[in-house]
Amino acid sequence: MNTKPKRQWQNWLDRNVYDLARQMRLSYVPPLMVYLAAGVSGLTGIVGTFFVKEYLGLSAEFLAMLGFWVMLPWALKMPVGHLVDLLWRHKAKLIYLGAALIAASLLIMINLLADREFMTHILPAETWFVLSVLLAPIGYVVQDTVADAMTVEAVPRFDEQGSPLPEAQIKLAHTTMQTLGRVAIIGGSMLVAAANVILFDDVHLMDDAEKAAVYLAVYRWALVIPLISIAGVLLSAYLRSQQEWRLAAQGYEREEIDRLLARPEDELPEINCWILGGGLGFVLFAVLMGLSDIPNSDAIVFIGSLAIVMFLIWRLTLDLEPTQRNQLYGIAFVIFAFRAVPTTGAGETWWMIDVLTFDQQFLAQLSLVTSGLTLFGMFLFRRFMAERPITHVIAVLTIVLSALYLPNIALFYGFHEWTQAHTGGVVDARFIALIDTALESPLGQIAMIPMLAWIANSAPPRLKATYFAVMAAFVNLALSLSQLLTKALNQFFVISREIKDPTTGLTVTAADYSQLGSLFFIVMFLGLAMPLSAIFIARRTFLKDSN
């Protein structure tokens, strides 16, 4: 009687889930393992938050500034992406380099928790923490850039007999590969969220020594992250050797095997001095400014970095038709504004921990809900993203995400106390936070997918990694601007947690969350105004011919 809805549901599952599984190939696994490692990197996220709150005296303003420097290495995808294109046969070594940097970051934190006294004899704990935080993103940038290139290699261009595959089949395989990459990243975040729920069970009942032991265990488990990406490289080498043996058994000579399995010579780009020079200039400029005592050096670095990246984009797009180039610029401008929206900063999390009594396990549960619903949202909204212009997608997401700030504002002003009293304790602060997270979590990935598709579709065939890296650097600089704006807001709306002297136990800084409500309203307003203003401007300038 109700067979029609059932058939529709089965058809939807077949088109969006089962079909993706059917297209899975063994050659896809190596890059997916690198992406999985990136997803698993969130294992230490909650521990890092509580470590800062309980052991370090860093302000919300400083953490926002640190967030700016953490995002800056992603602009290194420019020179790294071009190097991957140039050194295609040696990209595995870059994975090992990235793994070493990630392992070094984790080992710093492990030693800081295991033997704080020894570490602080060398450098202050805050300095070690900053060093650890800066090493990790450099490693992930290197690995992510190489993984992008590995996805190209993972898609076969010839069948088992050595005959070229149809272009349409290759294009479909690339789409599948990119979708599976997103699934691997989110799947990794789901695994670590589930692990954190288990590891943080009853942690709020533990004393400081027991909590430290749990934190230490989490960081030790995180050492599996670099091993996952290294295993992906080793598997890739094994699969390559198996293919070589199979083709050799069919009578192919070494030159023919290289032609079939390696990247064709006509796809290898020439050295682009603008990309390498601009990337080197960016690195030197950022390092010199970071080591200087010039006021607002982070803002100066951002302006200089943005100028360099925009110049490189201009150089790369000179060969495009004017209409196509303007469309690319317009979409880039809108995406930049959407991702540059500031956040409330670390103060919101501190308030949730201190005032709403959200413990480590509940934050892990929120992370698990976020990952699970994000994965579901990827499949649920695929058609919505495919059938509508990216400006329309961004406009809808902007309005919805801004509206989802209202539950946070309501919690700040005690709405949960009223609902808890009138629902027998069911609708409390945690219930509202879970519902808000459930509604908001898929939207972040929905925003990312059309951005990635836009970058991939705009890349010329011979400069895939280079073009993707430069455009991605521009989009990621928007996150650096977001951190700068967050820092500025935290300077104006001062939010502080309670900080006690570890020796005397006396309160050094009292907790003060009185200005968080005003900060919520400002961030919500900027989250609505910045992207919509960018869409309005873009449609009347760059995108006026496509309206």
User: Is residue 285 over pLDDT 80?
Assistant: no
Q: How would residue 84 be classed by pLDDT, with cut points 50, 70 and 90?
A: confident
Q: How would residue 341 be classed by pLDDT, with cut points 50, 70 and 90?
A: very high
More confident residue, 397 or 520: 520
Q: How would residue 532 be classed by pLDDT, with cut points 50, 70 and 90?
A: very high
pLDDT of residue 198: 79
Calpha distance 363→203 (Å, rounded)? 12
> pLDDT tens digits for 206-232?
777 788 888 888 888 889 889 999 998
pLDDT of residue 355: 86
What are the backbone angles phi and psi of residue 507, rounded to the nearest 5°? -75, 120
More confident residue, 333 or 370: 333
- Mean pLDDT, range 77-92, rounded to an integer: 75
Domains and CATH numbers, the chain: 23-271 (1.20.1250), 293-546 (1.20.1250.20)
Calpha distance 103→135 (Å, rounded)? 9
Q: Which two tokens stand for residue 128?
A: 């070690």
- Mean pLDDT, range 67-89, rounded to an integer: 74
User: Is residue 72 over pLDDT 90?
Assistant: no
**Which range has the worst mean pLDDT, 214-218, 249-253, 425-429, 431-435?**
249-253
More confident residue, 464 or 139: 139
User: Is residue 447 over pLDDT 80?
Assistant: no
Ramachandran assignment for 251, one of left (phi > 0), alpha (psi -120 to 50 degrees), beta (any other): left
User: Is residue 43 over pLDDT 90?
Assistant: no
pLDDT of residue 547: 56
Q: Which two tokens stand for residue 203?
A: 């942690």
Question: Does the global pTM surpass 0.75?
Answer: no
Report the sign of the C-alpha dihedral through residues 287, 288, 291, 295, in that order: negative
User: Is residue 449 over pLDDT 70?
Assistant: no
Q: How would residue 521 be classed by pLDDT, with cut points 50, 70 and 90?
A: very high
User: Is residue 520 over pLDDT 90?
Assistant: yes
Q: How many residues does the chain have?
A: 547
- Mean pLDDT, range 431-440, rounded to an integer: 71
> pLDDT tens digits for 254-272?
666 666 665 555 555 677 7
Burial class (CB within 10 angstroms; exposed 0-12, middle 13-18, buried 19+) of 337: buried
Amino acid symbol at 189: S
Cα–Cα nearest to 20, from 178, 195, 221: 178
Q: Which two tokens stand for residue 183?
A: 């699934």
The whole-chain average pLDDT of the chain stands at 79
- Mean pLDDT, range 19-46, rounded to an integer: 80
Question: What DSSP letter does each residue of 195-255 carry, written as one string?
Answer: HHHHHTTTGGGS-HHHHHHHHHHHHHHTTHHHHHHHHHHHHHHHHHHHHHHHHHHTT--HH
Question: What DSSP letter does each residue of 361-385 carry, written as one string?
Answer: HHHHHHHHHHHHHHHHHHHHTHHHH
Calpha distance 302→298 (Å, rounded)? 6
More confident residue, 86 or 32: 32
pLDDT of residue 534: 94
pLDDT of residue 141: 87
> pLDDT tens digits for 87-103?
777 778 888 999 999 99
Calpha distance 455→386 (Å, rounded)? 14
Q: How would residue 438 be classed by pLDDT, with cut points 50, 70 and 90?
A: low
Strand partners, 158: 164
pLDDT of residue 523: 93
